[in-house]
Amino acid sequence: MTDLIKVEQIVDRHGRSRDNLIAILLECQEEFLHLPREVIESVAVRVKAPVAQVLSIATFYRGFSLKPVGRHRIHVCMGTACHVQGAPRLLDAVSRELGIQRGETTPDMEFSLDTVNCLGCCGLAPVVTVGTDVHGKLKQTGIPRMLRKYVKDYKAKTH
């Protein structure tokens, strides 16, 4: 059950202003890890904006997710430096290892896999982040070890 009182508190902190919709939604997402329908509706009521306006922001910006995400969010960096150092192959490898595609979450809700345009640590390319941890100069062969740090028996659980 989504705790809508938290939504109200967040919206109130931002002065119930439509100008702050992006900041409000970012905080809601931090709280609920994604933006469920009822949160979007509640925000819309509270800032007196049409649901469509709130939804348009939630779908326009890449930072928002309307679907629930896993406990560990994996982001494969797709910046130019990472790309030339083989990021696409790395993404394929993580995807194979977890049995999910980009934008999906494992059925046990442990990992979700996504890409990010550039994390700005190009000196470490290719880079993958899991939550807030940065894994730089990663090779395909290093992926199982990286995943095991978060879920020891991920292979048994996710497949």
Partner 1 sequence: MAYRSHVLVCAGTGCVSCGSYELGAAIEGEIAKRDLAGEVQLVRTGCQGFCAEGPVLIVQPDEVFYCGLKKSDVPTLVEEHLLKGRPVTRLMYTPPAAPAPVPTLSQIPFFAKQKLVVLRNRGLIDPERIEDYIARDGYAALAKALGDMTPEQIIQEIKLSGLRGRGGGGFPAGVKWATCRQAAIHRGVEPIVVCNADEGDPGAFMDRSIIESDPHSVIEGMVIGARAIGAQQGFVYIRHEYPIARERLAKALDQARAFGLLGRGILGTKFDFDISVVQGAGAFVCGESTALMASLEGRVGEPRAKYIHTVEYGYKNLPTNLNNVETWANVPLIINRGAAWFTAMGTGDVSDNPWNGSSGTKVFSLVGKVNNTGLIEVPMGITLREIIFEIGGGIPRGRAFKAVQTGGPSGGCLPAAHLDMPVDFDSLTAAGSMMGSGGMIVMDDQTCMVDVARYFIAFLTEESCGKCIPCREGLRCSLDVLTRITEGKGDEGDIALLEEMGGVMQDACLCALGSSAPNPVISTLRYFRDEYDAHIRDHTCPAGVCKALIHYEIDQAKCDGCHACVTACSTGAITGQVKYPHLLNQDLCIKCGACVDACKREAVLRA
Q: What is the binding site for partner 1 (CB under 8 A)?
A: 17-23, 25-26, 56-57, 60-64, 78-86, 89, 92-93, 96, 116-125, 127, 132-136, 139-141
- CB of 42 vs partner 1, minimal distance in Å: 17
Q: 70 vs 126, which CB is nearer to partner 1? A: 126
Q: 62 vs 157, which CB is nearer to partner 1? A: 62
Taking a C-beta distance cutoff of 8 angstroms, is the pair 131, 116 a contact? no
- CB of 69 vs partner 1, minimal distance in Å: 14
Taking a C-beta distance cutoff of 8 angstroms, is the pair 62, 103 a contact? no
What does the block give as tokens for 144?
Answer: 């199982």
Q: 18 vs 34, which CB is nearer to partner 1? A: 18
Q: 67 vs 96, which CB is nearer to partner 1? A: 96
Q: 1 vs 101, which CB is nearer to partner 1? A: 101
Q: Long-range pairs for 97-106 at CB < 8 Å and ≥24 separation?
A: 97/143, 97/144, 97/147, 98/147, 98/154, 98/158, 99/158, 99/159, 100/158, 102/76, 105/67, 105/68, 105/69, 105/70, 106/70, 106/157, 106/158
Strand intervals (E) in 5-146: 72-77, 111-116, 128-130, 133-135
- CB of 83 vs partner 1, minimal distance in Å: 5
